[in-house]
Copies of this chain bind each other. A is one copy, B any other.
Amino acid sequence: MFFLSDSTGITAETLGNTLLTQFPGHRFERRTIPFITTVEEAARVVQAIDAVAAAGPRPIVFSTAVNRDIRAILSQSSGHFMDLFGAHIAELEDALQAPASGEPGKAHGVGDAIRYQLRMTAVEYAIEHDDGQSIRALERAELILIAPSRCGKTPTAMYLALQHGILAANFPLIEEDFARRSLPDPLRPFIHKCFGLTSLPVRLSQIRQERRPDTTYASLAQCSYELRNAEEMYESNQVPYVNSASMSVEEISATILQRMQLHH
């Protein structure tokens, strides 16, 4: 599988990989070739694809190249060429009653500078507010993720920051919170921003075992205790929550954006 682009290749990879998940029995070798911006480079890429085609099964080529000349060259390789771009752009020109610009892909460039800066600021914010490290500027947070240790708070906050520019803090729920049966004090003014994660005791114990094998911390009993208490705390404070045990950060994030109506 080749993912070809005149830009980063992210769109080609994203749609190409999505389509390939529909063929779970197959194993694919994947290669991304980004920044194909001249006809000379396009010709070299065709040579590379032809070499692969000569040596084995016919490769499939996903392309999001915008430029007509470059697309024309790329389509001539001996691979099976799938134009992920041209197929839809004519339809969209028709729907919008306007011509496409034909400029090379800018979808993953800086683009809207304000929106981009928001994302960069959010990454810093997520790092500074990782794992309850700082209670400074919590009033700026758009989201405060809470959960017992190792339920997925950190990567979820990072994903929401990087991809969506969401100012996300994350806070661990610990023994003291459970003993007092209340959320950590610094969060009390911001309960409406909180979202909880929970997991399955067996899954959580497994993850903790990898980190600190044979500790109370990783024991099934402790994990059950913490998750039960966390869920009770979410319920009693009307904090929305989701069981992250079998979910990816992308799925957890999409769920949070939808439930908290956070999409920018």
The residue that A103 contacts in the complex, of B7, B22, B107, B247, with Cβ under 8 A, is B22
Of the stretches A85-93, A136-144, A194-202, A212-220, the one at the interface is A85-93
Residue of A101, A155, A247, A255 with highest tally of chain B CB at under 10 A: A155
- A35-B98 in contact (CB<8A): no
Q: How far is the CB of A89 from chain B (nearest CB, A)?
A: 6
Q: How far is the CB of A191 from chain B (nearest CB, A)?
A: 25
Q: A21-B107, A111-B21 are in contact. Are A9 and B254 (CB under 8 A)?
A: yes
Across-interface contacts of A33 in B (CB, < 8 A): 258
Q: Does A183 interact with chain B (Cβ within 8 Å)?
A: no
Q: How far is the CB of A173 from chain B (nearest CB, A)?
A: 19
Please encode chain A, from 153 to 196, with 1 for each CB lying within 8 Å of some chain B CB and 0 for all others.
01100110010000000000000000000000000000000000
Across-interface contacts of A92 in B (CB, < 8 A): 19-20, 22-23, 60, 82
Residue of A19, A111, A127, A158 with highest tally of chain B CB at under 10 A: A19
30 pairs, A vs B, C-beta closer than 8 Å: A8-B250, A8-B253, A10-B250, A10-B254, A11-B15, A14-B15, A15-B15, A15-B84, A15-B88, A17-B107, A18-B107, A22-B66, A23-B92, A23-B98, A32-B257, A33-B258, A35-B255, A35-B258, A80-B95, A87-B87, A108-B248, A108-B250, A108-B254, A109-B251, A116-B248, A120-B249, A155-B162, A158-B162, A159-B162, A162-B162
Q: A19-B85, A60-B92, A123-B154 are in contact. List 15 more A-B contacts (CB 8 A).
A: A7-B251, A8-B254, A9-B254, A14-B107, A18-B64, A18-B105, A19-B89, A20-B92, A21-B107, A24-B103, A26-B96, A32-B254, A58-B95, A109-B251, A158-B162
